[in-house]
């Protein structure tokens, strides 16, 4: 088929565009597309590298937190240990009486209470409060004519919370209505 039979155009090439001009335009478009592809590939590689750096940094932070997370806790408890060591050393002395021993134990207990408080650990002491199974563990139900049923009469073992989260429930004795005779 000649060019004239084809309506004056070569197969697939518009009549207005000459083959070299069209080829040049297509080569330019290909070069631009390849440049965009290289740019996108570079951006992808940078993003992957940044993501890998973030992952590694997070892993290092987690390892440091695991390794040194108890540092504050240990620093708070060291004075308590020092106080207990002094108590043991003073117990070897013959002149130690029960009153001074008790005074030393009370001081050590206060040191421990302050250390726990600074760490965000608070005691759960629910005497007179309604029984709450999320914060208390009932060990006994005792009849009471004065207390409302299901209120805490006595704390057998103090419970503790860490920043509002129960780490050990208070073990309690709960009131129940008196039996009718």
The total domain count for the chain is 1
pLDDT value of position 20: 87
Q: Average pLDDT for residues 88-104, to the nearest whole number? A: 74
Confirm whether 115 is domain-assigned. Answer: no
Q: Average pLDDT for residues 137-161, to the nearest whole number? A: 94
Residues 6+ away with beta carbon under 8 Å from 59: none
CA 153, CA 172: separation in Å to the nearest integer? 7
Q: How confident is the model at residue 94 (pLDDT cuts 50, 70, 90)?
A: low
DSSP track, 40-76: HHHHHHHHHHHHHHHHHHHHHHHHHHHHHTTHHHHHH
Confirm whether 147 is domain-assigned. Answer: yes
Mean pLDDT of the chain: 85
Confirm whether 136 is domain-assigned. Answer: yes
> Would the pLDDT of 153 be above 80?
yes
Q: How confident is the model at residue 53 (pLDDT cuts 50, 70, 90)?
A: very high
Side by side, the strands of the sheet bearing 152-157 are 136-143, 170-176, 152-157
Domain that holds residue 173: 120-181
Q: Which residues does residue 124 pair with via DSSP β-bridges, in sequence order?
A: 159
Confirm whether 135 is domain-assigned. Answer: yes
Confirm whether 153 is domain-assigned. Answer: yes
Confirm whether 161 is domain-assigned. Answer: yes
CA 109, CA 68: separation in Å to the nearest integer? 26
CA 22, CA 113: separation in Å to the nearest integer? 86
Q: Average pLDDT for residues 114-124, to the nearest whole number? A: 89
Identify the CATH number of the domain in which residue 129 sits: 2.30.22.10
Percent of the chain topping pLDDT 90: 51
Q: What is the pTM of this model?
A: 0.58
Give the closest residue to 104 by CA, choosing from 121, 84, 118, 75: 84
Identify each DSSP E strand in the chain by its residue range: 121-124, 136-143, 152-157, 159-162, 165-168, 170-176
pLDDT value of position 3: 47
CA 22, CA 92: separation in Å to the nearest integer? 104
Read off φ and ψ for residue 125, nearest 5 degrees. Answer: -125, 85
Confirm whether 181 is domain-assigned. Answer: yes
Confirm whether 169 is domain-assigned. Answer: yes
């Amino acid at each position: 088929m000649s060019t004239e039979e084809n309506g004056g155009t070569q197969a697939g090439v518009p009549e207005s565009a000459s083959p070299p001009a069209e080829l040049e335009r297509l080569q330019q478009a290909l070069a631009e597309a390849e440049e965009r592809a290289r740019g996108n590939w570079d951006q992808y590689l940078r993003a992957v590298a940044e993501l890998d750096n973030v992952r590694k940094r997070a892993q290092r932070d987690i390892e440091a937190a695991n390794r040194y997370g108890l540092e504050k806790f240990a620093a708070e408890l060291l004075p308590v240990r020092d106080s207990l060591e002094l108590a043991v050393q003073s117990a070897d002395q013959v002149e130690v009486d029960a009153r001074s021993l008790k005074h030393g134990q009370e001081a050590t207990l206060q040191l421990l209470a302050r250390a726990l408080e600074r760490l965000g650990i608070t005691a759960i002491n629910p005497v007179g409060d309604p029984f709450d199974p999320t914060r208390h563990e009932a060990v006994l139900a005792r009849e009471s004519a004065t207390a409302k049923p299901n209120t805490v009469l006595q704390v057998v073992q103090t419970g503790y919370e860490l920043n509002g989260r129960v780490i050990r429930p208070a073990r309690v004795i709960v009131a129940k209505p008196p039996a009718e005779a």
